[in-house]
Amino acid sequence: MSAESKRYTEHSRTDGLGWPPAWLSGRALTASLCLVSACTCSSSTTSSVQTDDNDRVAIQGGANPSVLAVDGRGRTKCLASELFEGTGIIDLNDRIESPTGCSTEIVAFSSDRAVELKAAPKWTHDPSNPVTLAVKPPVEVELRFYVPQGVPGVATEAQDEMDEATALYAMNRAGIAFKSLSTVAYSPAQAVLIGNGCGGGNAAGLAKAGASLYDPGVINVYYVSQINWSNYLFGYNCYLESIVVGGSNAIGENIIFLSLASRPPTTLAHELGHALGLRGKVGHTYGVPGFTNRNLMMSGISFNAQALQDHFSLGQGYRMSLDRLSWLNHARPSGAAPIRAGDNRPCQLTVAAATGDFCPPLALDQ
């Protein structure tokens, strides 16, 4: 049951947290907050003011301010996800030293540009020669909606929910925008094929149903009366289901069901988060330190609380844009190339580092 958003339910976690946990107040906590003007990071504690060693990052093509998450060698140890904010040329002060002996990367987040990763930047210590980072427009992800014939307003609601998702991803600097080039109004006969959930071979059946009911190159979003014949579920992403497309095995990450009966308008943004790699132990944020009910991947809370959700962390944005698990970063079931070009990361699959690359903590934010 890890792919769903649902209401008033126990959760699969067994850590004994009551509900609501005591930490659920206010917005997400800050894991490592360092701004240019005041660095008090515990991860980079220094005992005295240090001179500027002249490392700078020049954001090229940016408009709104960017937040940089920088890994590199500090004065005494390796630093990870040090945060800086600015526009144009951003001074890293004296926190990042030479790359020797430490992994180093720069990631830029902003509200009007794609998340951009520069792996292994070459620090110059020369103010006239900053490290450059070219940022591009947000990555566009195509959705295809399926709405029931004869039910007025659903196609418009779908567009509105997509626009809300785009706005939510932008305001959290996630660098992804959604578009839809076609909406299918399905007949009562097609409704039988679409079914009302992922399981029981339904997702696999959809993938075989033909071009009118499934497009392997986009994210398919089916508005159905209920999911699993219940109002309990708001939405469901079928990433746990195996499908076969053109003779090749794939997973149903690009199949989303939304409940006409019970969803709040934020559920599409949540299910898209699953498509973009927020899954399993880095999926739902219920019980995860650093997150509140405002986080869009918080499940197991009420309709009204989910309707108010408006937050992704930078750590979540990093994974959605850069993790190889994300819909953006691997070949699609159609065989089409990944949507996003550029460096990506095989992130560790737990909230803390475990396996894979060390990507920022999920709760990293500023």
Using CB under 5 A as the criterion, which residues of the chain lie in contact with Zn ion when the complex forms? 5
Coil, strand or helix at 10: coil
Quote the least distance from Cβ 308 to Zn ion, whole Å. Answer: 17
Contact 213, 184 (CB under 8 A): yes
Is the Cβ of residue 94 or residue 253 nearer to Zn ion in the bound state?
Answer: 253
Alpha carbon 122 to chain centroid, angstroms:
28
Quote the least distance from Cβ 169 to Zn ion, whole Å. Answer: 16
Is the Cβ of residue 10 or residue 48 nearer to Zn ion in the bound state?
Answer: 10
Look at the block and give the residue holding tokens 């819909």: 327
**How far is the C-alpha of 68 from the C-alpha of 188, rounded, in Å?**
50
Is the Cβ of residue 70 or residue 278 nearer to Zn ion in the bound state?
Answer: 278
Quote the least distance from Cβ 350 to Zn ion, whole Å. Answer: 17
Coil, strand or helix at 188: helix
Look at the block and give the residue holding tokens 């039910």: 151
Is the Cβ of residue 5 or residue 111 nearer to Zn ion in the bound state?
Answer: 5
Quote the least distance from Cβ 293 to Zn ion, whole Å. Answer: 14
Quote the least distance from Cβ 271 to Zn ion, whole Å. Answer: 7
Vertex 243, ends 238 and 247: CA angle to 5°?
160
Quote the least distance from Cβ 262 to Zn ion, whole Å. Answer: 14
Sheet holding 4-6, edge to edge: 4-6, 233-245, 248-259, 219-224, 139-148, 176-186
In 3D, which of 311, 313, 319, 317 has the Cα closest to residue 357? 319
Is the Cβ of residue 4 or residue 55 nearer to Zn ion in the bound state?
Answer: 4
Residue nearest to Zn ion (CB): 5
**How far is the C-alpha of 257 from the C-alpha of 253, rounded, in Å?**
11
Is the Cβ of residue 133 or residue 256 nearer to Zn ion in the bound state?
Answer: 256
Token pair of 318 as six digits: 């990093």
Rounded to 5 degrees, φ, ψ at 177 are: -125, 150
